[in-house]
Amino acid sequence: AGARGRVGADARDASASIAIPSLRWVGNFTGNVFFIQEDIATTPDPVTGDRRESQRTQNGFEVSFSRRLPRRTDLLYGYLFEDTEVVSPDFAEPQTARTAVLRGSLLRDTRDSILDARTGRFLSFSVDYAPPFLRADFTFVKGLAQAFLALPIGRSLTWAHGYRLGLGKGIAGQSIRSTERFRAGGANTLRGYESDTAGPFHP
């Protein structure tokens, strides 16, 4: 069991979790409750051009299971429930939504080191599915494929490179809402951009 909290310039979050390893039939179990609050850049003010921000607050819980498969591959699956509120200068009132998602992922990691890989690959494919029978406010399906590769060059150099591809589609005529869209920006994705500013701006 554990808990964590973090406060930054654009994000604040807190969570608590419990993990139970090696349950029969289902594998390792993890349960998590969370609170996340983020400041997100929106389109500049149409008159003055000044920077504007929306505030997104998310809270909910997630249960997940993982199983080790052959060839250094892991299967992860679970369920996420989340309530979201967005306060934006584009809206007269706060916007709220409820999300319920079934999740599944396959991971394969052959790197020689997680923190400083010299050789090997990390491959992952994940799917989020929010079907109508879960009775949430939004229905959609989206997938994310990632590949991080490390290739030694000579004795002292390593060519480390990574690729991501995300695709999503709403179900029953819906569009994927902003909180489920893919964004980039920040030290871990696109340097030179502020966190999450390379992507759709409208909440």
38: nearest Cα among 48, 25, 50, 53: 53
> What residues pair up with 76 in beta bridges, in sequence order?
66, 105
Kindly state the greatest CA–CA separation across the chain. 61
- β-strands 120-130, 11-23: how paired? unpaired
> If you ran DSSP here, which 8-state letter would residue 195 be given?
T
Average pLDDT over residues 56-74: 94
pLDDT in tens, 145-165: 999 999 999 888 999 999 999
For residue 185, pLDDT over 80 is answered with no
pLDDT in tens, 14-58: 999 999 998 888 889 999 999 999 998 777 777 787 878 889 999
Alpha-carbon distance of 91 to 69, in angstroms, equals 47
Please report the pLDDT score of residue 2 as a whole number.
Answer: 96
Alpha-carbon distance of 191 to 174, in angstroms, equals 32
> What residues pair up with 23 in beta bridges, in sequence order?
27
* The dihedral sign for the CA sequence 10, 15, 19, 25: negative
Asked if residues 120 and 111 have their Cβ atoms less than 8 Å apart, the reply is yes
Please report the pLDDT score of residue 186 as a whole number.
Answer: 72
Average pLDDT over residues 54-67: 94
Please report the pLDDT score of residue 114 as a whole number.
Answer: 87
Residue 45 to residues 50, 70, 90, Cα–Cα distance (Å):
5, 54, 10
- pLDDT-derived band at 199 (thresholds 50, 70, 90) equals low
For residue 187, pLDDT over 70 is answered with no
| Residue 116, SS3 per DSSP | coil
